[in-house]
Structure 1
Amino acid sequence: MFNSKQFFIQRFSSHMLEVSRYLKYIFNGHLVFAMLFLVSALAYYYQAWLVQIPDRFPTAAIIAILFGLVTSYSPVRTLLKEADLVFLLPAEHKMDGYFWLSLLYSFLIQLYLVLLIAAALGPLYFATYPNKPTTQYLVAIVVLLVLKVWSLLANWWMLKIRDRRTRVLDTLIRLVLTIVIFYFFVKGEMVLSGIVTILLFGLFIYNYFLSRQYPGIAWDLLVEKDRERMHTFYRIANMFTDVPQLKTAIKKRHSLVAAVTSRINFSQEQSYHYLYRITFIRSGDYLGMYLRLIIIGGLCIYFIPNLWMKIVFSLLFLYLSGFQMMTLWQHHRTIAWLDLYPLKKEWRQAALVKWLMQLMIVQTIIFGLLFVFIGNLLGLAVVWIGGFLFSYVFIHGFVKKRLV
């Protein structure tokens, strides 16, 4: 006899086995060390900034927006696969246990984000409102958890509605109401917060009765949602190792391709130079990741007050970019012509080394120009000299040994 709860446990075990296989590559020693350093440094400057926080700083609005976002973001992970559209459809009336466990799983895996946001905003709350009792912030966290459950259930009910615009509008309304609830709560306006909570509860009840008009399960929509989330995970994992399940999207970007390949000669020796440049521009998320690291690193350089910590962050993000771009070496390993064509392996290694060096030099120049913008020529000199030396040592002392 079909047992939906037992089926979920089996599907969950299979899912965790697959995820853990890639997580060990994502959270490798180098990345963990870099992230620990980044978090520790940001926490230090965060505490230092709280000591001199401006009197009119919009703490209530920031807490309300972040609490509202983390509450409204409540995707339901069903772990369904395309084959379930055929094989589970006859057992739809027996799937209640499976979906209740999937809701519980969805809530538990999102708790880390709730606790992370609550822990990060706690010092800001107590620095802004030193006279308010600790219990009030704890109550706000409890309210956050309750509204999180509401949001998760509402999202589950709205997954029976196929009209995407209706689902998006419902999410936006719940997001706005949730932000207003937390804003009034942090400001101490409990009556107004209670009134808006009643409105949100009314919308919650409306979601329930609306879903009752659609008794069936939108199997294809559930499968599509889960496939999209797994695709996102695979894209992240693909930055660290090869993911066979991932179908890489190719973007043309003719202008950028022309810009990075215009000086390459049409010869055998230059084949890999051309390949790695267009791969960086068109395939996967290499270009996007490279630009995001530059932007985040630039923000750290601009806002961190200490000069030497600015320099350390410059080198840290330079290292992260170089380390992540190393995966270009493995990008084409499943393509047979790399082994069949009469191209020397030394050419391939030299092409990637040169391209990575150019990328790190461009990033070093950008970080250095930020010091010009903030009027610190000493930082400019140190970052440019240190960045060029670090790039050379990193490429020739670390990267080349792993290009095998």
Structure 2
Amino acid sequence: MPRRLRRIISVTRVTRAARVLAAGGLTAAAVAAAPIAATPASADSGLRDVLVVGNAQAGTVSVIDGHTFANLGSINVIPDLNQRMFEIDINPVWLAGYQTVKAVEGGDRFVDDATISPDGRTLYVSRGNLDDVAAFDLATHAELWHTRLAGFHADHAALSPDGTRYVVSATTAQVAQVVDTADGAIIGSFPTGTYPHQNDFSADGAYIYNSSIGITSLPKSMEWAKGSFQLTKVDAHTLQVVQTWTLPHGIRPNEIAPDGHTFYADLSYLNGFVKYDLSTSKILNTVQMPYASGGATMKPDDYPKNSAHHGLALSGDGSKICDVGTIDDYTAIVATSNLTTAGTVTYPSGALPYWGQTSADGQYCFVSLSNRGEVSVVSFATATEVARVPVGAFPQRERVSQIASSVVGSLDPAAG
């Protein structure tokens, strides 16, 4: 049944360092100084659970240990920036598109999404304003290939469970394109709603789910002109559309529950999230979360790209949902059984929490604090922050992956 891409729900041994973190709620400095124990996901495979964090402004990707929460280092994913900018500058169409997207984004966003291959040795990155996808060897940091997409912006991406296909939203072209990870060749595409955004594979790799946000540059008063807010289900082998669902507002971060039909989604302008039934195509509940002081005074047209709340993650057992309050500077842990709030973690004003991701063991929610260059680690069980990890400039997307233990030492020691 459909579930969130590559969620690894397994029983893992909690290391001593993880116990200390969970018990003490360590600071960023303490986490950065913590000893980095070898904690591979499997001693036989030589793979290690990690969180991959895309630092959008820095053009780097940080790698965080999935159990100790130590920052293992980073990799520069725009080593070819000068060459790519030269190619854009001499093409009037590309240049106009680049400048338009940069203005809408509020500056350069060089990393939109990133994840690691199943063997733990190759990093795939969708490079936002550069409108391309690139692959890097994690041992040498060499760029293996890069491929320009249609339109002018490379958005959210998803790696197939077998690691052979990388699906990326070509936002302004209103399609999702499928890239062969072996050589970067584009081998197909499928139609989406207006401004395709998030992509996810079902756990068995049979289906792709794509959601669209509509034209975010238009004001709320013109929501009728933003286009279609659509969830699209696609056969991953034929790339034929299987089913579509239309929601009333742009579909932001979303999750499909283990039952395969319960769909949770942040929506544009909604200070909370909805629970939706894919089998009946109906919203079951609209969960309106409380405004914090900053969010309460903001006008909807001042929300970052229409987002009030932007980040959802389900606990490993599906009993809790982590809802990221972007304009409210908090993360709330909500019970899925009755949609009541178990607890809230509050951040400094202007932190801009902007994404949520569940840890490999299902026990924690990782929240990117974009304006602070940090990742907050929140316990599903206690609804408290157990660690704060420094990364690079403007972290956004995070993905749970596995890295080969043999290449960890090749990472740049810089946090991001």
Question: TM-score, with normalisation over the residues of structure 2?
Answer: 0.22
Whose strand proportion is higher, 1 or 2? 2
Identify which of structures 1 and 2 has the higher relative contact order when contacts are C-alpha pairs closer than 8 Å and 6+ apart: 2
Normalising by structure 1, what TM-score?
0.22
